[in-house]
Amino acid sequence: MKFLFRYWLAASLIILPVAGVYAESSKVADKVKVTRLWYLEKETGTDPIKMRYLISDRYMRIDEGYPKDDYVLYDNASHTIYNINHEDRTMMVIHQRDWQSPAFAFKHAQSHKMLIGSPRIADKTVVSFQSTAGGKVCADIQLLPDVFSREQQLFQAYQTVLSGQSIASLKNTPKEYQTPCFLVDDIYNSGDYYQLGLPVNEWHARGYSRLLQDFGSAEVSPELFQLPKGYSEYQPIGIK
């Protein structure tokens, strides 16, 4: 699961003790109703991995489908991302940061259209989104509209938090790597395309892709949305 935080793990880290029990309540329901999504995901230089997304009203958990997996947990109430690693008993914590895009010196644009005549999913016409910068395609995404509004909102909120952390860490990236697509799609990316729908087929110029394999509803243990006790937190150095 470490690949989800590719930009920050190269930085020096501060280790902090974790205090308290990360449970939403001492009295929890037997099961939590969620939307369960399965994606086939790939990063440059890696084999495709089947990833599970469990999304409730408040949380999004990303793992490989097993309760004892390392996992990523996004808490939409606190706008915080936790990356849990069981082997070294640590949690990488990403808090929300306010940010806005600068005035870029290069041309960039976004466009979208309905894919009329393409195969329908859940009886809906898929929307195609494309982002360009500096004369190159940065992202090409197909999205399913009008079915998963809650899930779309969490996808966008999660991406906004990721970008806030990327911006804070941008000084660690050499200037020669700060290409137009890198800045527009990897760093200053609010995920506003998720307002168009749930991602079905997602491609980014950095080499990341995601393909929806299956979706449905499920009831899962509330423990899947709790953080482990006794783990240490860490954050990139210089992040306050």
Query: Domain locations in the chain?
Result: 2-97+218-236, 108-211
2-18 pLDDT, tens digit per residue, is: 334 333 333 323 333 33
Given a cut of 80, whether residue 236 has pLDDT beyond it is no
Question: Lowest mean pLDDT: which of 26-30, 131-135, 151-155?
Answer: 26-30
pTM for this prediction: 0.85
Question: Lowest mean pLDDT: which of 14-18, 54-58, 127-131, 174-178?
Answer: 14-18
Beta strand 49-55 pairing with 232-236: unpaired
